[in-house]
Amino acid sequence: METLREIRRRIRSVQNLAQMTRAMEAISASKVQKAQAAVLATRYYAHRAWEVIVNLSTVRGIPLHPLLTIREPVRSALIIVFSSDRGLCGAYNHNVVRAATDYARLLGVPVRYVAVGKRGRNILWRLRAPLIAHFSGLPAVPRLPDVTAIARLAMDEFLSGQVDAVFLAYTDFINLLRQRPVVKRLLPLRPTCLEDQVVCEYVVDMRPAGVADYIYEPSPEALLDVVLPRFTELQVYQTALEAAASEHAARRAAMRNATDNAEELIRDLTIIRNKARQHAITKELLDIAGGAEALRQLQETG
Amino acid sequence: MGFRLEVVTPERQLFSGEVDSVLAPGAEGQLGILPHHAPLMSTLTMGELLARRGEEELSFVIYGGFIQVLPDRVIVLADVGERADEVDAEQAERARQEAEELLKKEPPPELRAEAMMALRKAQLRLRVTHRHRLRRPTEENP
């Protein structure tokens, strides 16, 4: 049996651990909120930008912009996987990579990958997946300039004809307890971020009623060339924020589990400690009682 | 009678409210917008976006974007932007000095373009904050 001192030391070290995991849990919870607030803040711009795109795309006589044109059949695809740089977040990274590879299998065409986050990159490496680029070092709550390079890469690959479609694999934030890995299409563009998704699914025949002809400066095509890349960046930005919210929620859950385990361990150890202490006291008492008894017997006989 | 102006960036909404007129840095020249302007869409360059509401002037710094004029409202989608009263003048001044230093050293073309851009941004921010200060002396020096 361990000595009392050893048990006390173990309790203290577990208590320290619990304190740490509890702090990490609180930090992650606050980061979830920040990321969520940032996602909400982008909605308005996304909505307005999509209205503009719809308006411009329906101007008579201009061809559909390449970023909006669906290519059939899709002969190759790019999947951008959003994972985390750091661990301690349960199965977060494995789940999102699995969603991406499952989707690739479903597509049945050659798929190349871009990894965002070190953990996802490492998993894809181990799977020997064709990785063409990786990004890491995004802040806990990314800002738009942090992700523009990712969007640019996606647009370059798509416009150059290297791939016929670009997908984003990320973890959708449902609530603090539930996150779900999903894959959604980035290019050709589709307004997945909007509430009335179904309505906006097709760009054609979407001319808002009651609006007179616009003056376009310099031209509808030139305007689209400005708005569409911005919108693409925005989609990537929203995805990165959503993934960040999920990452922090996953870490919060992992830390909550760790704290609970530590507390349980402390309870068990405390019982063992009490037993050990009681044992020591009993032993001492026995010694004293035994000694006294021996002394008494000695006196009686003597 | 004014109209509604909304200024949004991808990261947040800068302004939303009634104004009487708007002066925007259009790609093809300054755009002045009064009520009942014809529907218009235009790209914006880097510059100052000014809105007037009665005696009050609202100023924004915008680094490119997009303007949509509708019959009842004007929507400005700025790539990046900030309100004039949020501009950090000291930081802008530092950025200006850095860019000027860099330009003095005859950098390679791609770096030069970047420095020029940074310099223009800093100058714009300084100009806007300066005007903003002049306009509201009572608040700045009570």
pLDDT on residue B19: 92
Interface of A with B (CB under 8 A): 38, 41-42, 44-46, 48-49, 51-52, 55-56, 143-144, 211-218, 222-223, 226-227, 230, 233-234, 237
In chain B, the domains with their CATH numbers are: 3-84 (2.60.15.10), 87-140 (no CATH)
Alpha carbon of residue B91 to chain centroid = 17
pLDDT on residue B101: 81
pLDDT on residue A169: 94
CA distance linking residue B71 with residue A45, whole number of Å? 20
Q: Do A215 and B41 touch (CB under 8 A)?
A: yes
CA distance linking residue A17 with residue B67, whole number of Å? 54
B134 band by pLDDT with thresholds 50, 70 and 90 = low
pTM (whole model) above 0.95: no
Distances (CA, A) of B52 to A35, A58, A94, B37, B84: 34, 33, 54, 15, 14
CA distance linking residue A185 with residue A71, whole number of Å? 13
Nearest to B82 by CA among B5, B17, B7: B7
pLDDT on residue B82: 83
Report the complex ipTM.
0.76
B133 band by pLDDT with thresholds 50, 70 and 90 = low
b/e per residue A72-107 (b: at least 16 CB within 10 A): eeeeebbbbbbbbbeeebbebbebbbebbbebbeeb
CA distance linking residue A262 with residue A23, whole number of Å? 13
List, for residues B78-132, the tens digit of each pLDDT value: 988 888 777 777 788 888 888 888 777 777 777 777 777 787 888 888 887 777 6
Task: Determine how many CB atoms are found less than 10 A away from the CB of residue A275.
Answer: 13
CA distance linking residue B31 with residue B49, whole number of Å? 10
Class of domain A31-250: alpha beta
Taking the alpha carbons at both ends of chain B, their separation in whole angstroms is 33
Structure tokens at B92: 């802008």
List, for residues A54-69, the tens digit of each pLDDT value: 778 777 677 778 888 8
* Domain layout of chain A by residue ranges: 4-23+256-301, 31-250
List, for residues B38-74, the tens digit of each pLDDT value: 888 898 988 889 898 888 888 888 888 889 898 888 9
Nearest to A46 by CA among A244, A198, A200, A272: A200
pLDDT on residue A197: 42
Class of domain A4-23+256-301: mainly alpha
SS3 A105: helix
Residues of chain A short of pLDDT 50, as ranges, are: 192-210
Please name the member of B10, B40, B80 whose beta carbon is closest to the beta carbon of A42: B10
